[in-house]
C-alpha cells in the first residue's frame, strides 16, 4: 500500500509537467519542434542499435577464443 501511495504522488507531480509540455508546442512552431524531436529520437535509436551491435560483436569476439581453446 505504501508503494502504491508513492506511485500516486509521483504520477500527480509528473502530471502538470506533461500537460504543460503537451500544451506548449502547439502555441509555437510545432512543425519544426516536432521535426527536431523526431530527429533526436531517431538518433537515439540509431545510437542504441550501434551499442547493441557493438556488444554483440564483443560477445562474439570473446566467445570465439574460448571455443578455440
pTM above 0.85, yes or no: no
Burial class for 25, CB neighbours closer than 10 Å (0-12, 13-18, 19+): middle
For residue range 7-63, list pLDDT tens digits in order: 444 444 444 444 444 554 445 567 888 889 999 999 999 999 999 999 999 888 887
Angle, alpha carbons 51-54-56 (nearest 5°): 110
The closest of 23, 41, 22, 3 to 11, measured between CA atoms, is: 3
| 54, 63 Cβ separation under 8 angstroms | no
Ranges of each domain in the chain:
2-68
Residues 37, 23: Cα–Cα separation, whole Å: 16
Amino acid at each position: 500500500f505504501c508503494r502504491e501511495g508513492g506511485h500516486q504522488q509521483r504520477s500527480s507531480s509528473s502530471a502538470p509537467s506533461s500537460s504543460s509540455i503537451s500544451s506548449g508546442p502547439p502555441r509555437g512552431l510545432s512543425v519544426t519542434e516536432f521535426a527536431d524531436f523526431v530527429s533526436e529520437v531517431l538518433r537515439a535509436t540509431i545510437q542504441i542499435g550501434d551499442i547493441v551491435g557493438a556488444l554483440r560483436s564483443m560477445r562474439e569476439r570473446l566467445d570465439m577464443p574460448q571455443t578455440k581453446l
